[in-house]
Structure 1
Amino acid sequence: MNVTMRRCALPVLTMLALTGGAAVAGPTVSAWDGDARGAVRLIGGGATADAPSTVAGVEIRLGDGWKTYWRYPGDSGVPPRFDFSRSVNVKSATVRYPAPHRFADGGGTSIGYKGGVIFPVAVARDDATQAATLAVEVDYAVCERLCVPKTGTATLVLPAESAAAPTAPATGAMSPATNGSSLGGLAGAVARLPRPARVGDAGDFSVRAVHREGEWPTPRLVVDVAAPAGTEVDLFAEGPTAAWALPVPNPAGSGPDGTHRFTFEVDGAPAGVDPRGATLTLTAVAGDRAIAVPVTLDP
């Protein structure tokens, strides 16, 4: 069985059916595994009317004041790791990451979530006419003043897709809560998945421009993000693999036409890797919207 953790791909379009008019089966949930600081459970969202896979969710509940991390945790922290190898009749499980937030963390900046988070999962089965058992083990960290490593497990039976009785999807808050989130929270998490975009796209929210300042080996990227007035805007940068450790972009005032400007040094490539020609992923967040934009570094 394949387990993948993706930044920006077709599963977003499949999952977005949860927030539109497509029908889905009613939600089921597993028991929580954890304590007051952090706990894990599975949510079964069911199959969409036009999707080849089931949309499920891994939910992490967090205690007041505790946080957990995005796939790239920033200057400190540990990203979550998902193991679905004990699942039955599951061909692949693709984990997606809702837009995160930045947190001041001692002398640096971390990237992640507070209050709780649901990671949508696109589940493809070996046999769609049969029930599947989705089993996950999650290694993650929860942090307040100190960080605590945790492992949570959950198991959930997903009915055969052809047997699922469709119901109208619920709509949920953008920040999933703890005990009552279920399908509404899963729909909210899907809505916060970054959508694929390109530099210079039209519209009220886009990465308008990216340019390089300075010369190699340590140039700086300048990124201008357009967003509606009054919207809180943020930007995160990732390398082509998890081995990269780019700095968290810093807000740098206003760019042309009232855009929000961010800058960061192109530093943190793995040892022996020439960053010239590499494609980075910029995740821009504006309120409850997010986009993922590929940017190739020129030589």
Structure 2
Amino acid sequence: MKTLIGSTAAAALTVCLCLAAPVSAQGLDGVVQLDVLDGGRTAKGTYLGALRLTLKDGWKTYWRAPGDAGIPPQFDWTGSRNVGDVSITWPAPEIFDQNGLQSIGYEDQLVLPVEITPKNPAKTVHLRGEMDLGVCKDVCIPERLGFDHTLDADAGRNPAIAAALAQRPYSAREGRVSKASCRLTPTADGMQIEARVTMPSAGGREVAVIEPGNPALWASQPDTVRQGDTLIARSEIINASGAPFALDRSEIRITVLGAKHAVDIKGCSAG
């Protein structure tokens, strides 16, 4: 089900998108290093690899939904050969406080598993492209890193890739989610979303992250509270252009980050 609303230009989102624009960093050699790991071919014929980011002590980088103080990563695979579908598995991230703002990401190292479906199973897969990302310590800055690597079909099991895959969030079923609903209410600048997720605690302080499913839209960091078996998260979704937008509940993604584990919930019913 889609809900259509009108909205005015959102100054806060405009600032956020300007900060997130890919820019090549200058004079920051050695802050972060990218290399490609090989994991061989899977039983279904796909290639398993990973982008490994190694950061200097004290530096952090960001998750796909980086929070209020982060820069979202972007990938350009256009220089690659024999690449059909690309599937990325994000390990569960950490939550950081930066000058009173919340960011979501990783410190020290990030191993990002990538599964590649080749266009032609009989040919090798060559990954070539760029990754735009943000890194942060005392200041937050954008970086652009290139990669150029032919995947090794005969490579054995890679422990680093296996460990990163094991750190993925639980699915809704694994997290014992029995219900997820979203109530949508128009606001002056966009739309308020109230998500209610019935599930056992993920441990300690739980933080919900809401992704609208449309890269043109931005969701504020939700206020998250638990009432018994139900986790309630409220956020505002806005469009920087100020144009009306459709919000499809089936595309909304809710990730619950807890002390014990994370839970990835795709889609929600009407609330």
Band the TM-score falls in, shorter-chain normalisation: 0.7 to 0.9
* Aligned counterparts of 1:52 and 1:233: Cα–Cα separation in 2: 38
Cα deviation, residue 119, structure 1:
1.6
1:281 corresponds to which residue?
Answer: 253
Is there any run of 5+ residues in structure 1 with no aligned partner, and where?
Answer: 1-33, 170-182
Tell me which stretches of 4 or more aligned residues in structure 1 moved more than 6 Å: none
**Normalized against structure 2, the TM-score is what?**
0.74
CA spacing shift, 1:38–1:126, aligned 2, 3 Å = same
Distance 1:225 1:250, change over 3 A: farther
Once the two structures are superposed, the pairs formed by residues 201-220 of structure 1 within 5 Å of their partners are 205-206=176-177, 208-210=179-181, 212=183, 215-217=185-187, 218-220=191-193
Change in CA separation of 1:130 and 1:227 when aligned onto 2, cut-off 3 Å: same
Report what 1:81 is aligned to: 74
Match of 1:272, as an amino acid? A
Q: Does 1:264 align with 2:243?
A: no
Contact 1:67 1:112 in 2 (8 A): yes
Kindly state the Cα deviation for residue 292 of structure 1 after the two structures are TM-superposed: 2.7
Shift of 1:47: 0.8
Secondary structure of the 1:245 match is: strand
Q: Which runs of 5+ in 2 are unaligned?
A: 1-27
Classify 1:130/1:145 alpha carbon distance in 2 versus 1 (closer, same or farther; 3 Å). Answer: same
The one-letter amino acid of 2:238's match is G
Structure 1 residue 230 displacement after superposition: 4.5
How many residues end up aligned between the 2 structures? 238
Is 1:46 equivalent to 2:40 in the alignment? yes
Identity rate, percent: 25
Q: 1:106 to 1:225 in 2, by over 3 A?
A: farther
Q: Which residue of 2 aligns with 1:12?
A: none
Which letter maps to 2:93?
P
| One-letter amino acid of the counterpart of residue 285, structure 1 | L
Structure 1 residue 246 and structure 2 residue 240: aligned? Answer: no
For residues 96-245 of structure 1, what are the structure 2 equivalents within 5 Å? 96-159=89-152, 161=153, 164=154, 167=156, 169=157, 183-194=158-169, 196-197=171-172, 205-206=176-177, 208-210=179-181, 212=183, 215-217=185-187, 218-224=191-197, 226-227=199-200, 230=203, 233-245=206-218
Aligned to 2:18: none
| Greater Cα offset, 123-132 or 51-60 | 123-132
> What displacement does 1:263 show?
2.2
TM-score by length of 1: 0.68
Would you say the 8 A contact 1:280–1:297 is kept in 2? no
> Whole-Å Cα distance in 2 between the matches of residues 57 and 94 of structure 1?
11
1:293 to 253, 266, 270: 266
**Which residue identity is paired with 1:44?**
D
Deviation at 1:255, TM superposition (A): 1.2
1:245 and 1:267 in contact (8 A); partners too: yes
Contact 2:181–2:270 (8 Å) recurs in 1:
no
Kindly indicate whether the alpha-carbon contact (under 8 Å) linking 2:89 and 2:112 is maintained by their aligned counterparts in 1: yes
SS in 2 for 1:268: strand
Within a 5 Å distance, the mapping from 1:7-46 to structure 2 comes to 35-46=29-40
The Cα of 1:57 is off from its aligned counterpart by 0.6
Q: 1:255 aligns with which of 227, 234, 237?
A: 227
1:219–1:265: 8 Å Cα contact kept in structure 2?
A: yes
Whether the aligned pair in 2 keeps the contact of 1:62 and 1:115 (CA below 8 Å) is yes
Higher strand share: 2
> Comparing both chains, which one has the higher relative contact order based on Cα–Cα distances under 8 Å and sequence gaps of 6 or more?
2
Q: Is the 8 A contact 1:207 1:293 kept in 2?
A: no
Q: How far did 1:58 drift?
A: 0.7
Distance (Å, rounded) in 1 between the aligned partners of 2:257 and 2:63: 14
Give the match for residue 21 of structure 2.
none
Q: Would the aligned equivalents of 1:81 and 1:140 in 2 still touch at CA under 8 Å?
A: yes
Partner of 1:90: 83
- Tell me, in whole angstroms, the C-alpha distance in 2 between the residues paired with 1:137 and 1:40: 10
The alpha-carbon deviation at position 37 of structure 1 amounts to 2.2
> What RMSD, in angstroms, separates the aligned Cα atoms of the two structures?
2.9
Q: Deviations over 1:225-250 (max 9, x none)?
A: 53357456432110121111111222
